[in-house]
A and B are shown apart, each in its own frame.
Chain A
Amino acid sequence: GNSVTQMEGPVTLSEEAFLTINCTYTATGYPSLFWYVQYPGEGLQLLLKATKADDKGSNKGFEATYRKETTSFHLEKGSVQVSDSAVYFCALSDRGGANNLFFGTGTRLTVIP
């Protein structure tokens, strides 16, 4: 079946620190992979995506590379800001399935000045 496992939170970092949030997946077929961000009191917003192996998704300084050999899609940012404080969700979409997005449990990031 399809599933996503992401690192437990919460994560607290100082401003300008390096961020990594780990995400690994299990899927049948060839999924597309996503990172979504949820700011307090808001819905989820697509942060970045990758649709095939070795693709790198990037947006707003965040990056993630689709690694088929390690079934991973880790989120990274070189220098976090206070405004990056949010909950981050890793997700996959099963190309052969019913277009369901399978989500990880979310990782809460707090960046302190």
Chain B
Amino acid sequence: EAQVTQNPRYLITVTGKKLTVTCSQNMNHEYMSWYRQDPGLGLRQIYYSMNVEVTDKGDVPEGYKVSRKEKRNFPLILESPSPNQTSLYFCASSTTDRGLAYGYTFGSGTRLTVV
């Protein structure tokens, strides 16, 4: 089954303790992206990657890191989490056509709470 898999689904952590949220897709998509969803703000892009070793900032990259060493994986790293990063996070992947992304597939989400 074609899917984007995120882990964990739920995570509670303390301020300053490094964490990684994993994302993996089995569709051979070039494009992958991370979003956070907050009430009243919709979804906002954190980082995206057009292909292996190619990443760039989205709208709200502060406090996050990503890496794209393999095509299927795109982990989101919070080096020193803070309470304002409490949110619902989604990973997405997409096919591309002439550099444009189409057909986004989203993971099921990771609910992160930083206390």
Q: Which residues of A contact B (CB under 8 A)?
A: 4, 32, 34, 36, 41-46, 89, 93, 95, 98-101, 103-106
Using CB atoms, name the residue of chain A closest to B3: A43
What's the minimum C-beta distance from A34 to chain B, rounded to whole angstroms? 8
Give Cα distance in the complex from A99 to B94, angstroms.
Answer: 10
- Across-interface contacts of A45 in B (CB, < 8 A): 106
Partner of A105, one of B41, B99, B107: B41
Contact yes or no, A98 B108, CB < 8 A? no
Contact yes or no, B56 A98, CB < 8 A? yes
Given contacts A101-B43, A101-B45, 11 further A-B pairs with CB under 8 A are: A36-B106, A42-B109, A44-B92, A44-B106, A99-B50, A99-B99, A99-B101, A100-B58, A101-B92, A103-B44, A104-B42
Give Cα distance in the complex from A42 to B105, angstroms.
Answer: 12
Partner of A100, one of B40, B59, B103, B109: B59
Give Cα distance in the complex from A102 to B65, angstroms.
Answer: 21
Contact yes or no, B104 A46, CB < 8 A? yes
Which 6 pairs from chain A and chain B are nearest by CB? A99-B101, A43-B106, A103-B42, A103-B43, A105-B42, A44-B106
- Across-interface contacts of A4 in B (CB, < 8 A): 42
Q: Which residues of B contact A (CB under 8 A)?
A: 4, 31, 33, 35, 40-45, 48, 50, 56, 58-59, 90, 92, 94, 96, 99-109
Contact yes or no, B90 A100, CB < 8 A? no
Using CB atoms, name the residue of chain A closest to B106: A43
- Across-interface contacts of B35 in A (CB, < 8 A): 101, 103
Contact yes or no, A93 B100, CB < 8 A? yes
- Across-interface contacts of A103 in B (CB, < 8 A): 35, 42-44
Pick the most buried of A36, A98, A103, A106: most chain B CB atoms within 10 A of its CB. A98
Using CB atoms, name the residue of chain A closest to B9: A41
- Across-interface contacts of B42 in A (CB, < 8 A): 4, 89, 103-106
- Across-interface contacts of B92 in A (CB, < 8 A): 44, 101
- Across-interface contacts of B105 in A (CB, < 8 A): 46
23 A-B contacts (beta carbon < 8 Å):
A32-B102, A34-B104, A36-B106, A41-B108, A42-B108, A43-B4, A43-B107, A43-B109, A44-B92, A46-B103, A46-B104, A89-B43, A93-B101, A93-B102, A99-B101, A100-B59, A101-B43, A101-B45, A101-B92, A103-B35, A104-B42, A105-B40, A105-B41
